[in-house]
Amino acid sequence: MTVIVDLPEDSLARLRAEATRRGVSIDSVIAELAAVLPAGLPPAKHTRSLIGLGSSRSGSFARDTDELLAEGFGRN
């Protein structure tokens, strides 16, 4: 199978050096590296959070709630 990979020069240099050190092709080094990756694992389940969803321009935080309420926040 043919795969084209665009690597940074330093990564390619490390692959070449390792292949030369072992006396094998770069393909063999990449295949060996891929072989140690976990296979067939389901994707991680992401939970969504509402924390930080909005943006506060007041600079107030949840930790300041008691102080804000004591000062009359939300009262008309």
Give yes or no for residue 52 having a pLDDT over 90. no
Distance CA 16, CA 49 (A): 44
- Domain residue ranges in the chain: 9-70
Across the chain, mean pLDDT equals 82
Q: Tell the residue number behind the tokens 């926040």, with chain if given.
A: 73
Closest CA to 4 of 20, 27, 23: 27
Confidence of residue 68 (pLDDT cuts 50, 70, 90): confident
More confident position, 49 or 13: 13
Distance CA 57, CA 22 (A): 58
Report residue 16 as tokens. Answer: 């070449």
List pLDDT tens digits, range 7-39: 999 999 999 999 999 999 999 999 999 999 887
Length of the chain: 76
Distance CA 68, CA 61 (A): 10
**What pLDDT is recorded for position 15?**
95
